[in-house]
Structure 1
């Protein structure tokens, strides 16, 4: 078994990149840091770093240990927290989701935080693949994604479906294929996926998103509809992202003849022990999203 004290010293050194500053951070002597590294290398029978004068660099095995060691140390810290404090409404919960979900969910979670002021919520907007990676590395407690994960490290539960909608400038009262061709398309990171799903189901002429002239792109969820509002094109978004845009009078949300929705999944790391506050937050998220969509 790896000595956790030596591992903590090694990971701190890899993070800080300097022996003296690591010693100061850990309230140790520089020779003490060196001794921990030496003992860890002996225990693992592997060279973890190469010194070059006063500097050093990690070997390939050193990089592997640093990456995995950080996960292990976070798990140890989490275990200590579980034993010392496990109240439903006290402590930090780290959550990540794609933008549209977050526009609806984050204000609701802030209302909960007002109600339970010993709760602290760390909320990040991120794409699906980043959320999966953060969950696998125990960087967040809960992740919401809009595609079924293939990761063996995650527990995935479908909790809701969010409708996809076509959004045009407000002057467009109804849409047909020719209208869309004339408008052109405003792209965003999930545009090909969203557009393909909704348009293929409702327009026989649709083959791929490149059939439309490209009129713009934004990767900020709150800004995707800005060019649409100015009459520069149309786009396809989850319903809540469209409803959150202001001013609403500048756009028109079209629910097409054949409705299409994307699934919403809540995910946790299979190997983590869920704190009561994380369980509480997961339950609140489930209820909110099921009532919203």
Structure 2
């Protein structure tokens, strides 16, 4: 393999055409330049220069090496620039979050991409456990969790609290325990957890969501409120998910006497190097969700 340090000396010498000026340009001695050329000729086992006093010309091998060597050095310099390139508003960012927070956050991130067209956002909706695994495996740059991660390679920072709310159809103006039993429960993947958090703080009769008649289930965050809006039952959701439902006139968001929320944690891989674009988006997310 050709030594790039020697190759750079050779190409610079051919460009300048003079040993002394080449030495000055490369901060070397003239004898050092000569030694580099000799080492390169020994490595390639062929003469590269035809010396004539203080001047020289290239052999056929020297001419080929000069042409291809310049290309190689330019490619190497370009690769180095790309590796060192760390623009704040340029490059791809991979983010994942649970569905509710994603409904609020993803449009905000698209606004950032509109402001900075070279900033590319890949966004995945996923449950906490999948996000933790993706962070640990370094498949994503940032993750938002509603539980504090116990994974040693994941660093978590609390940035906000997402309120939980009870949602019914719009014709239900108020709720009590009896009314909830009459309505029945529309479930979703996080419903038992959300229901326990909110209802246990507001209804002393509550023990578990199985106390309510099961009236339906959906695992699509944007569709959970469809049966609710049609009067089939009630559910408990994060506020962002309830506010994202497209037909707000068909639902009623109930703010109970004892508010309950889920902590939101912004998470990264603990050992991953953080480029400037990740720092920028990380700070933007924290500021946006804290409002």
When normalised by structure 2's length, the TM-score is 0.72
Residue 264 of structure 1 is matched in structure 2 by 264
Runs of 4+ in 1 over 2 A off after TM superposition: 80-84
Q: For the residues of structure 1 that align with 2:258 and 2:152, how far apart are their CA atoms? A: 34
Q: For the residues of structure 2 that align with 1:136 and 1:149, how far apart are their CA atoms? A: 11
- 1:97-246 matched pairs, under 5 angstroms: 97-246=97-246
The answer to whether the 8 A contact 1:157-1:267 is kept is: yes
Q: After alignment, is 82-91 or 176-185 more displaced? A: 82-91
The answer to whether the 8 A contact 1:138-1:269 is kept is: yes
Distance of aligned partners of 1:81 and 1:271 in 2 relative to their CA distance in 1, 3 Å threshold:
farther
Q: How many Å apart are 1:82 and its aligned residue?
A: 8.0
Residue 250 of structure 2 is matched in structure 1 by 250
Deviations 1:215-238 (A, max 9, x none): 000010000000000100000000
Deviations 1:152-197 (A, max 9, x none): 0111000000100000011100000000000000000100000000
The answer to whether the 8 A contact 1:92-1:119 is kept is: yes
- DSSP 3-state at the match of 2:284: helix
- The answer to whether the aligner puts 1:93 opposite 2:93 as a matched pair is yes
Q: How many Å apart are 1:271 and its aligned residue?
A: 1.1
Q: For the residues of structure 1 that align with 2:205 and 2:109, how far apart are their CA atoms? A: 42
- DSSP 3-state at the match of 1:202: coil
Q: How many Å apart are 1:246 and its aligned residue?
A: 1.5
Residue 285 of structure 1 is matched in structure 2 by 285
Q: For the residues of structure 1 that align with 2:274 and 2:83, how far apart are their CA atoms? A: 12
Q: For the residues of structure 2 that align with 1:229 and 1:170, how far apart are their CA atoms? A: 7
The answer to whether the 8 A contact 1:93-1:121 is kept is: yes
- DSSP 3-state at the match of 2:201: helix
Q: How many Å apart are 1:282 and its aligned residue?
A: 0.2
Q: For the residues of structure 1 that align with 2:101 and 2:276, how far apart are their CA atoms? A: 23
Q: How many Å apart are 1:81 and its aligned residue?
A: 9.1
Deviations 1:57-78 (A, max 9, x none): xxxxxxxxxxxxxxxxxxxxxx
Q: For the residues of structure 2 that align with 1:289 and 1:81, how far apart are their CA atoms? A: 35
Structure 2: runs of 5 or more not aligned: 1-79
- DSSP 3-state at the match of 1:121: strand
Q: How many Å apart are 1:275 and its aligned residue?
A: 0.7
Q: For the residues of structure 2 that align with 1:81 and 1:201, how far apart are their CA atoms? A: 57
Q: How many Å apart are 1:84 and its aligned residue?
A: 2.6
Q: How many Å apart are 1:144 and its aligned residue?
A: 0.2
Deviations 1:117-140 (A, max 9, x none): 010000000000000000000000
The answer to whether the 8 A contact 1:82-1:275 is kept is: no
Q: CA RMSD in A?
A: 1.1
The answer to whether the 8 A contact 1:215-1:232 is kept is: yes
- DSSP 3-state at the match of 1:204: coil
When normalised by structure 1's length, the TM-score is 0.71
